[in-house]
Amino acid sequence: MKITLNQLVIISLFVMIAFILIFFNGVVVLFVIMTFSDFFLDGIVFAPECKAGENPQITGCYDKDNIDGGQIINCLHGGVCPIGVSYEPTQQETCDSTDNAGYEEFALSEACRAETIAELEANGPLDSTDTDEDGIFDVIDKCPYDAETINGYLDLDGCPETSSSDSDGDGLTDAVDQCPNNKEDFNGESDGDGCPDIDTDDDGILDYQDECVLEKEIVNGWFDGDGCPDDEVAETTQLPEVDIIDVIINPPEISASFIDETSVLGFEANTLNLNDTVDSAIILTVIILIIMVLALVMVLKKNLGKKKRR
């Protein structure tokens, strides 16, 4: 069976591709897969769907119905419960309020928190107007013209936190201070949360780094950073004194031993063999490329000759 030049070029191309894939241990395949997956999967959100009462602005969950956590948590009738009002028994909803930093903080019952999107839209589609563009619709936004400050503090009321009260005097306002009555110690560990970092055994090593939080570290130069007392001090070996003049006059006997194939020399030999293999593979690749180029040149010459005859 005769093989045409066109077939030879195609065969050479496939041989080169197969050789490259085998030699580079699938790196090319991995690169192609990653490139195409990045192209086709761009824009797809890999995030869990928001549960009832979960705010996507805080947790990063996926809101498939485009209704933010504020609408799921808050009830109907304006989004919040009026002070001292209980709704009809069919809704199983009660409300309490406490004054905190000048804002009304509403504690809704679990039945209200479990309210579904379908129940929210029972009286028709919700008005999605959001004047201040803070992600909280005007129908439940207590400050529809002022954007919410997303800082983990009353993020669902729709109002910016403007309180400057700092009860513990640590420089962090109560609105963002997770421990408003305990000063932050500013030691480089979670300094922005407003809470002091605990050191239970008072050994100078904080509990989050201390492997023995109830036992003090013994500072003796032996694993001083683990926070644990050392039951045993490491034994030190005292080397015998050596008389250099005596060694020169009476040198000790030195015995020689052979090094087998698993030794350093064997490792070096294996390294040399590996280098030879790599060099051979590179040479073979160059040869295949040269053959392909020559085959292409011959095909072009043949096609040009046919055209001239015509």
pLDDT tens for 136-154 read: 778 778 888 888 877 666 6
Structure tokens at 262: 């698993």
Is the pLDDT at 205 greater than 60? The verdict is yes
Task: Map tokens 């192209």 to a residue.
Answer: 39
Give residue 278's region: left, alpha or beta (phi > 0; psi -120 to 50).
alpha
Angle at 120 between CA 119 and CA 125, to 5 degrees: 115
- Count helices and strands in the chain by DSSP H and E runs: 8, 2
22-56 per-position pLDDT tens digit: 665 555 555 655 555 555 444 444 566 766 656 55
Is the pLDDT at 107 greater than 70? The verdict is no
**Number of other CB atoms surrounding residue 179 within 10 Å:** 16
Higher pLDDT, 49 or 274: 49
What is the C-alpha to C-alpha distance for residues 131 and 235, in angstroms, rounded to an integer?
A: 73
Is the pLDDT at 111 greater than 70? The verdict is no
What is the C-alpha to C-alpha distance for residues 149 and 162, in angstroms, rounded to an integer?
A: 9
pTM greater than 0.75 (yes/no): no
Q: State the virtual CA torsion across 120, 124, 125, 127 in degrees, nearest 10.
A: -90
CA nearest 196: which of 163, 156, 168, 223?
Answer: 168
What pLDDT score does 306 carry? 62
**Which pLDDT band holds residue 173 (cuts at 50, 70, 90)?**
confident
- Tell me how far apart the terminal alpha carbons of the chain are, to the nearest angstrom: 28
Angle, to 10 degrees, between the axis of helix 5-23 and the axis of helix 264-309? 160
What pLDDT score does 223 carry? 77
What pLDDT score does 36 carry? 52
CA-based Rg of the chain, rounded to a whole angstrom? 38
What is the C-alpha to C-alpha distance for residues 215 and 224, in angstroms, rounded to an integer?
A: 13
Is the pLDDT at 216 greater than 70? The verdict is yes
Q: What is the mean pLDDT of the chain?
A: 62
Percent of the chain with pLDDT over 70: 35
What pLDDT score does 154 carry? 67
Higher pLDDT, 307 or 65: 307
281-304: average pLDDT: 72
3-class secondary-structure state, position 283: helix
| Full DSSP string of 253-281 | P-------TTSHHHHHHHHHHHHHHHHHH
In what helix (H) or strand (E) does residue 73 lie, and over which residues does it extend?
helix 69-73
What is the C-alpha to C-alpha distance for residues 173 and 177, in angstroms, rounded to an integer?
A: 6
CA nearest 90: which of 51, 119, 125, 53?
Answer: 119
234-266 per-position pLDDT tens digit: 455 566 666 666 656 666 665 555 445 444 444
What is the C-alpha to C-alpha distance for residues 250 and 75, in angstroms, rounded to an integer?
A: 97
3-class secondary-structure state, position 296: helix
Higher pLDDT, 33 or 112: 33
In the chain, the DSSP E strands lie at 95-100, 103-108
